[in-house]
Amino acid sequence: MRLLNLIKIAFKAIVLNKTRTLLTMLGIIIGVASVIAMLAIGEGSKESIRSTISSMGSNMITVRPGSDVRGGVRQERSAMETLTLNDYYAIKEQANLLTYVTPLVNGGGQVINGSNNWPSTIYGVNPEYLKIKITELQSGSMFTDAEVQSAAKVALIGQTVVDNVFPDGQEPIGQMIRFNNIPFKIIGVLEEKGENTFGQDQDDVVIAPYTTVQKRILAIDHLESIIASAISEDDAPEAVTQVSEILRKQHKITENEEDDFHVRSMEELISTFSSTSEMLTILLVAVASISLLIGGIGIMNIMYVSVKERTKEIGLRMAVGGKGSDILMQFLIEAILISITGGILGVILGLASTVFIEKFLNWPTSIALYSIIISFAVCAITGIFFGWYPAKKAAALDPITALRYE
């Protein structure tokens, strides 16, 4: 009852001074709005980086043979022959956090079509490779599991290879090319992907069944790597552990021994990029927070002036029975009402400007609910914090002096 009365009194005072209240609120409004907009921009850019990486296969996991020590000499990774098809089968069967798995062997060589030739790399994989790499076909089709079984001499080529070995715009599908003198029938062309984040031309590839590449090109029976995709990006770290455990068992590695393989996810890359954009967000928010702070000081300033200006009113309120605590609460509630109303208007302005930025500047934005909650909470706290001093000042006034104040 008493508090309700005080809220009424405070509300009345605010309504009586509309212009001044609005000007006081302006600082808070701008502060809150900019915090929300800045966080939305930060979150937006983070998400866009994430989705760029995702398009490269953010949930991709790579297994490579580790460096081994033979007679005290640490061997080069390519010399390792520890990764075998049995490992691939084991992973495929046992790992339940993976959606696609493919063995991978690769080798360099010359792609030849008549008088045209081009140095490229051949990747021996299974049909799931395209899904892991999130690669579409521009034309033709992927080879089948049966073709893998039979080590068929079929291949898909990237756009760079097409441009170089079919310079006169010939339809490549159905044509025969040679890779290191082994003939392959082209059954598909990969969609253009351009360079990846590391500057590697992702279109300069030849893809063939891994069996074919193992037998005809490289004459090996081990694998260079196994790549897989986790169910989701969040599952990737656990999938890495799972794959490691499977391989340790498979390779009969005892507890004290080092792994003879490496399992990596794309996560490291993501965290690098995320931390950059997070840094940026923090910076933006820091700047925005300063404006919120200045808004708070604005409230203190106005409340202080208001207390001075209304000294006589305070004296009267005390004379008719207002206690010090009533006066304190009145001014504190006033400050809080100003800051919370400013906060609400700030949220609205922040959301509106975020939509504006998205629509007209084409910047990626993403409104985080937590940013709204935080900036709103900060607002209320600002009101209490900066309203306290002037309110305390008002409450401590002596009624006699306050009544005589002109």
Q: Which of residues 12-71 bind another protein (CB under 8 A)?
A: 12, 16
The residue (of 2 and 249) whose beta carbon lies closer to another protein is 2
Q: Which region among 61-69, 315-323, 335-343, 376-384 touches another protein (by CB under 8 A)?
A: 315-323
Only segment of 1-9, 89-97, 215-223, 262-270 that touches another protein (CB under 8 A): 1-9
Closer to another protein by CB, 134 or 316: give it. 316
Give strand ranges (E) for 218-359: 225-230, 261-265
Minimum Å distance from CB 319 to another protein? 5
Looking at the Cβ atoms of 280 and 316, the one nearer to another protein is: 316
Residues 294-313 that bind another protein (CB under 8 A): 312-313
- List 61's β-bridge partners, or say none: 228, 265
The long-range contacts involving 248-251, CB below 8 angstroms and separated by at least 24 positions, are 249/90, 250/86, 250/87, 250/90, 251/82, 251/87
Q: Which of 190, 288, 317, 347 binds another protein (CB under 8 A)?
A: 317
3-class DSSP state for residue 257? coil
Interface with another protein, residue 359, by CB under 8 A: no
Residue number with CB closer to another protein (20 or 131): 20
Q: How far is the CB of 1 from another protein (least distance, A)?
A: 5
CB of 340 to another protein, least distance (A): 22
Instruction: Find the shortest distance in angstroms from Cβ 315 to another protein.
Output: 8
Residues 275-285 as b/e (b if ≥16 CB within 10 A, e otherwise) read eebeeebeebb
- For residues 156, 158, 161, 164, the Cα torsion angle rounded to the nearest 10 degrees is 120
**What is the contact surface with another protein in residues (CB under 8 A)?**
1-2, 5, 8-9, 12, 16, 312-313, 315-326, 399-400, 403
